[in-house]
Amino acid sequence: MTALGPTLLGCAHESTLAGARRAVAEGRYEAAEPDLQKLSTRPTPEGDEARQLLAQVEEERRATALVLLEQARKLEGGLGPDRVQARSYLELALTLLRGTGPEAEAAAREVTDLTTWLHERERAWVRLAAPLAAHASECLPEQQADTLAKLRSLRRELGRRYSLLAPALAAAQACFAAGRELDGLTLTELAVELRLPNETIPAAASLRMAAAYAHLPPTAPAEQTAATVSASTPAPSPRPAPRVVAPAPAVPDAAQIDAVLARAQTLYTSGKVFEALLTLDEAVSTSEPAGGARLRAQRELWKRDREFLVTDYLTRAERALQGQDPDTAYAWYARVLALDPGHDVALDRVRKIEAFRRLKSGQRS
C-alpha cells in the first residue's frame, strides 16, 4: 500500500498537468494557471514543465494584449461605435497584462480618455434634447433648427440611432399652428433630412407640407416686379390690384389631387413604395401648376425612397444579368427607368438586351 502511494500521486500529478497542458494549447489560460501554479512549486520534472508552461502563458498573454492594443489604436479616432470597440479591446488587453507594466499604464489612460469622451457627448445630447422637448409647442425656428443641427452632429459622432424626426416635426407643427407657414416648411424639410433610413414621414405631416407649398405665393418675374415698383399712377379702382398669379385650380381638380395624395399615401404606408411613387409621377405630369406644387412637394418628401429603390433595382438587374438571365434583368431595369427615365446605365443595358433579343429572333427566322 505504501509502495503504491507515490505512484498514484504521480499519476494524479500527470493527469492534472495533462489537463493544464491542453488548456494552454487551447488558449484557456485562466483555467490552466491555478493548476500550473500549484505544480510549479514541486521540485520534480512535472514542476519544471509547469514552470515552462507558465512562462509560455505569460508570453502568449502579452503577445495577445499587444495585438489588441494595436487594433484599439486604429479605432480610437473613429466615431462612437469604433471608440466603444476600442475601449473593449483596451480593457481586455489590461486584463491580459494583469494591469502592470508600461503598456498597461498607457492602456488604462486611454480607457479613461475614451470613457470621458463618450460621457461628455452623452451629457451634451441630454443638455440639447431636453430644452428642445420642453419648447416643442413653441415656434422658435432658428433656435430649434440650430439645436437639431447640433444633435445631428452628436448623433453622427456617437454613431447612435437616436431619432430626431419627432422633435423636428413637433417644432414644424408649432410654426404651422402659429400661421408661420414658411418656418413650418423649413422645419419639416429639416425633419426629412434628419430621419433615419427606417423612418417614414407621417401621412399628416406629408399632407400638411404639401398644403403649405400650395399656399405659398409664386415668385413674380423680374420684369413684373420692376414694372410694379416704377408705376407712379394708382389704379383707378379703389380696391387693390389683384396679384398676377396662376389661376387657382377648380374644385374638381383639387379634389382629384386630394384623392391622388391619399391613394399614394395608402400605397406608401402599406409598403408599396414603387406604386406610390408612380402614382405621384403620373399625377404630376397631368396636373395644373397650382395642384402640381402639392404633388411635387410630396414627391420631394419621398426622394430618398426613390433613390433607394433605384439602387436596389439596379443591383438586382445587374445580378440577374451576371446570372445569364436577361429577361429578369430587363424587368428590373424597366423599374429603374420608371423611377429615373434618364438613368444612363439602365438605358444602356435595356438597349443591349433589346438588341440581343432582336439578334436571337433573327437567328430563329
Cα angle value 102/108/112 (rounded, 5°): 150
| Contact (Cβ atoms closer than 8 angstroms) between residue 277 and residue 309 | yes
Cα angle value 19/22/26 (rounded, 5°): 140
Q: How far is CA 365 from CA 108, 260, 354, 362, in A?
A: 79, 47, 17, 5
> What is the per-residue pLDDT across 242-255, written as a single tens digit (0 to 9) for each?
333 333 433 336 77
**pLDDT score at 124:** 92
**Band (4; pLDDT cuts 50, 70, 90):** very low
Instruction: Kindly report the number of other CB atoms within 10 A of residue 344's CB atom.
Output: 8
**Band (224; pLDDT cuts 50, 70, 90):** very low
Residue appearing with cell numbers 514552470: 51
Over residues 337-345, mean pLDDT: 89
Number of residues that this document lists for the chain? 365
Residue appearing with cell numbers 415656434: 139
- Inform me whether the pLDDT recorded for 171 exceeds 70: yes
| For the chain, domain boundaries | 10-119, 135-199, 310-364
d(CA 63, CA 33): 17
Window from 117-131, 179-193, 211-225, 313-327 with minimum mean pLDDT:
211-225
| Residue among 41, 4, 2 nearest 16 (CA) | 41
Residue appearing with cell numbers 507515490: 6
| Residue among 278, 284, 295 nearest 337 (CA) | 278
Q: Tell me the average pLDDT of the chain.
A: 78
- Percent with pLDDT over 70 in the chain: 80
> What is the per-residue pLDDT across 255-289, written as a single tens digit (0 to 9) for each?
777 788 888 888 887 788 888 888 888 887 776 55
